[in-house]
Structure 1
Amino acid sequence: MGYRDVAAVGVSAGGRTAMTFAARHPGLVHGLILESSTSFLPWPDPFTRAIARIAFRPHLERGTWTITRLLFSRWPAFTLKGMLSSLSTIPASIAYQRFDETERTRLIGLLSRMRSGQGFANDLCMSADVTQDVRQPTLVVASRFDAVVSREHAQSLVSRIKGAELVLTNSLSHLIWIGPHAHEEQQAVTSFLARLR
């Protein structure tokens, strides 16, 4: 059994993988959605890269996430504010207040269950720029307040992928599908998929 009308989705640094897959398999991928996605501009900054190379080495990664889970179990609000300071350009205390209790619970649940394996380490490796080889209809969704991947990445993607559409949302962080403005991402994706059909 085969698949038809596949839309590839790439989130954050996974955007590079999704773009590469779409460029290599144009007959399979019908559309491309890039959310909070890195482009092929340099990323992350040198300081973050150096810290990540240490914290997410294969033999240390499990410990990094174990400590993260412990912090969330003991001091969930404090730890979430700390994480928001790296996910949002909005001051963490303000961003925290703008999420309601249900959204905070979702964020804590997501961030406390994460494991990266070799994924984050792989994300630090630069890959070949395939943007000009992407021919599928492409939607780029990014937050104006993303502290992980700057808006320049979204703008670079739209300038290099022919016909790509950019939607900038007011989502409070890199995690654009959680928060009071999540509907903006949902509406953009729903509309894009409807047009693909």
Structure 2
Amino acid sequence: MTTTLLDTTKGIVEFTYKGSGPTVLLLKGGHSTRETDLSHSSLIYEGFSLLTISRPGYDYTEQSTGKTPAEFADTIIEVLDHLSIDKVKVISISAAGPTGIALATDHPERVERLLMEAALTTPWEKQTKRRATLLFGPAEKIVWSSLKTMLRFCPDLVLKQLIADLTTQEVDDYLENLTPNDRRFIIDMLATSQSGKGFVTDLDHDVSDMRLIQAPVLGMYSQKDRSVPYTNALILKSSAPDCEIYEVDADSHLIWIGRDAQEVWRKRLEFLNQS
């Protein structure tokens, strides 16, 4: 994948920009790298330009570009200005939720629509932060190297460990119901994951006042998501003035696979195609 590095006033930002048509800004979630694709790359075949900006600490984007969502929102505006992009439709995934919200609240004239896909609308819980800091702080390279080695030799064990944090279902039942394609999706997601310094930065993110969001919002969430509980959807719905929540019939945080995956894709396109 061809990437661009932009030297902004706060440091280096990595991004890719391809396709033609209205611009969709994609903000990936925690642990996601430039190689991680949860189906969104196909938007370029649906008549959109896809601008993917790596968040602080991920890929080559420096932490200095925004230790808070509001700071990085300002940096995103620098990227948009550099590319002469007036407005964007924004997709925020999982841990990128606070960044999408900050962009919409602080720069309402640049955000046409905001799509929150299993995205955080609340600060991290203290217990989660402690555990995540231990795993993905200084030891993150060792943790991911070990996980990826185990993924090659004993994938079922790795999948069990991962899914336990993503679903409220019994893990064995969840894995048993995976299709081969869905299983491949999860393995590819893991194989392309790396926390860098990004995830520990994510853990301290605050959330802007969602009552200030002027753009239409669509939130897509699963009731069986353990990592981003459905309360995030309820808070988004009760706070953002113009908000629709689509309850995804998915068995985990991974709303992009499973029996409702096609409907998620349809809802996404329907929302993004509105002017």
Deviation at 1:128, TM superposition (A): 4.4
Residue among 237, 251, 257 paired with 1:178: 257
Q: Aligned residue for 1:21?
A: 103
Conservation of the 8 A alpha-carbon contact between 2:87 and 2:109:
no
**Higher RCO, 1 vs 2 (CA within 8 Å, ≥6 residues apart):** 1
Summarize deviations over 1:92-113 as a string: whole Å, max 9, x none: 1111122101210111111122
Deviation at 1:4, TM superposition (A): 4.6
Structure number with the higher strand fraction is 2
Structure number with the higher helix fraction is 1
Runs of 4+ in 1 over 6 A off after TM superposition: none
Distance 2:156 2:217 in 1: 37
Distance 1:145 1:159 in 2: 20
Q: Aligned residue for 2:93?
A: 11
Select between 1-10 and 167-176 the one with higher mean Cα deviation: 1-10
Distance 2:100 2:85 in 1: 17
Distance 1:104 1:4 in 2: 39
Select between 120-129 and 159-168 the one with higher mean Cα deviation: 120-129
Structure 2 regions of 5+ residues with no counterpart? 1-82
Q: Aligned residue for 1:43?
A: 124
Summarize deviations over 1:22-62 as a string: whole Å, max 9, x none: 2122111100000111113x423x322211111111x3111
**TM-score normalised by the chain length of structure 2:** 0.67
Q: What SS does the corresponding residue of 2:168 show, helix, strand or coil?
A: coil
Asked if 1:190 is matched to 2:265, the reply is no
Q: CA RMSD in A?
A: 1.5
Asked if 1:87 is matched to 2:199, the reply is no
Select between 148-157 and 60-69 the one with higher mean Cα deviation: 60-69
Conservation of the 8 A alpha-carbon contact between 2:87 and 2:110:
yes
Report how many aligned residue pairs link the two structures.
193
Conservation of the 8 A alpha-carbon contact between 2:101 and 2:207:
no
Q: Aligned residue for 2:134?
A: 54
Structure 1 regions of 5+ residues with no counterpart? none
**Amino acid paired to 1:190:** L
**Amino acid paired to 2:228:** V
Distance 1:117 1:82 in 2: 20
